[in-house]
Structure 1
Amino acid sequence: MPELIDPTPDLRTSFLAAVAEFRADRDYPTPWFVNDVDPPALTDATAFTAYVTRLLGEQDEAAGRAEWFVPMTTLWWVEGDQMLGRLAIRHRLTPALEKVGGHIGYDVRPSARRQGHATAMLAAALPIARSLGIAEALLTVDATNVASRRVIETNGGRFIDTVGEKCRYRVTTT
C-alpha cells in the first residue's frame, strides 16, 4: 500500500525514472520540482544524497536562501521501491502564495496517474498539515485541470474563487 515518506537516497533510481517521465510528458507542463532538482543530482549518487538533504532541510525556517522562501515539508508517495509521486506542504504562505501556490502541491508521475494516487496523497497529507498548525489548507489549481479539482473536492475542498487562471480551494485538515 502506498505511503508518504520523507525523501530518501534509497529511491534514487525510481526518482530519476519519474523525473524522466515528467519531462517526456507532453500533455502537462513539467512540474516546478523537476526543474528544481540540482543538475548534478541527476547523474551522481553523492549529489543526489546532497539534494535529498537539501529537501529535508527546507522544513527549517532558517534554511531560507531567498526572500520569498517559506519552509516546506516535501514527501514522496511510495510503494515498495517505487516513487509514485511527490507532495509539498508549505508551512506558511506569502501574499503571492495566497494567490497562486497555496499550502499543498502534489504531482503523480505519468505512469501512475488515474489510479487514485493524488486523492490518497492529499488525504494522507491533511493530518500532516494539521500537525504543522494549518487548520485550513489553501490549494490552487489551474482552472482547466478538472482531475486535480476533483481530487481537491473529494478531499472536502471548498471552492473560494478564481484568481487569474487558478481556482482556489480551502480544505479543512481535520
Structure 2
Amino acid sequence: MDTSGLPRTPTLVPPTPQVHASFLAAMAEFRAEGRGDRQDHTMVGREIREHCATWHTPAGFDEFVRELRSQAREETPRPAGFVPSTTLWWVAGPVYLGRIAVRHRLNQSLRELGGHIGYDVRPTARRRGHATAMLRAVLPVARDLGITSALVTCDVDNVASRRVIEANGGVLEDQRGDKLRFWVPTGA
C-alpha cells in the first residue's frame, strides 16, 4: 500500500476519487488520440463527452465516481439500450492505468457489437500486459454475476486486443461487420 491506501501492484478497484489527478492525465492521453468525438462510441469516448466539463473539480469527479458505481444497480435509471454494468478501474497506488466494465446481461446491440466486457488501457500504459491482466482479473466478477461465458468483441484490425482475449481463453465465434466475437469462459 502507498499513501493513497491503494495497492502498489496493479489491481481492480471500484471507481475511486483517490486517483483523480492520474485519471485526468489518462483522459488527456485518450483525447490526444482523438477519443471523445461524436464517432467514438466507446465507454471512454462517451464519458469524455458527457463528463469532461465537470470532472476537473473534486466535487465533479466525486459525482462522476458515484454515477459510475450506481450503474451496477438494476434500479439505477439509464439511457435506453443500456444495461446494468459494473465498472472497475485498474490502478497501481494512485495511478490510473485503465478501466474495464462488465455488462450484466446482453441486449441485441451488445450481442452484435459490444459484448459483456469492454476495456481500455491508457496510452502510456499499453504494451505492458495490463489489458490481459485486467480481463483475467474481471472474469470472476462476471462469474459472480451469473455469466458462464462472456462475450468479448474487438475490431478486426485490433491484433493486440485479439491477443488479450485469446490469452484469456477466448474462442472466436464469428465476425460480424468489422467486429470479431469471442466467448471467454469465466470459470463458472
TM-score with structure 1 length normalisation? Answer: 0.94
Per the alignment, in what secondary structure is the counterpart of residue 61 of structure 1? coil
* Residues 86, 101 of structure 2: 8 Å contact kept: yes
Q: Which amino acid aligns with 2:18?
A: D
CA RMSD of aligned residues (A): 1.6
User: Could you tell me whether the CA contact under 8 Å between 2:44 and 2:120 is conserved in 1?
Assistant: no
Correspondence 1:90 to 2:103: yes
Aligned-partner Cα distance in 1 for 2:45–2:80: 22
Q: Name the structure 2 match of 1:3.
A: 11
How far off its partner does 1:44 sit? 1.5
Equivalent runs, 1:4-19 vs 2, <5 Å: 4-19=12-27
Q: Structure 1 residue 35: deviation in Å?
A: 3.1
Cα distance in 2 for residues equivalent to 1:73 and 1:171: 17
What CA distance in whole angstroms lies between the structure 2 residues aligned with 1:131 and 1:64? Answer: 23
- How far, CA to CA, are the matches of 1:42 and 1:51 in structure 2? 7
Q: Which runs of 5+ in 1 are unaligned?
A: none
Query: Is contact 1:64–1:70 with CA below 8 Å preserved after alignment?
Result: no
Q: Distance in 1 between matches of 2:117 and 2:43?
A: 13
Within 5 Å, give how 1:138-157 maps onto structure 2: 138-157=151-170
**TM-score, normalization: structure 2?**
0.88
1:59 is displaced (CA, Å) by: 0.2
Kindly indicate whether residue 68 of structure 2 is the aligned counterpart of residue 60 of structure 1. Answer: no
| 1:129 and 2:142 aligned | yes
What corresponds to 2:6 in structure 1? none
Secondary structure, aligned partner of 2:133: helix
Deviations 1:80-131 (Å, cap 9, x if unpaired)? 1100000000000101110000000010000000000000000001011000
CA contact (8 A) 1:72 1:89 kept: yes
The one-letter code sitting in structure 2 at the alignment partner of 1:13 is A
Is residue 111 from structure 1 mapped to residue 124 from structure 2 by the alignment? yes
The answer (yes or no) to whether the contact 2:102–2:118 under 8 Å persists in 1 is yes
Amino acid at match of 1:102: G
Distance 1:75 1:3 in 2: 9
SS at match of 1:42: coil
Cα contact 2:55–2:64 (8 A) shared by 1? no
Which stretches of structure 1, 4 residues or more, deviate above 6 A after TM superposition? none
**Runs of 5+ in structure 2 lacking a partner?**
1-8
Identity of aligned residues (%): 51
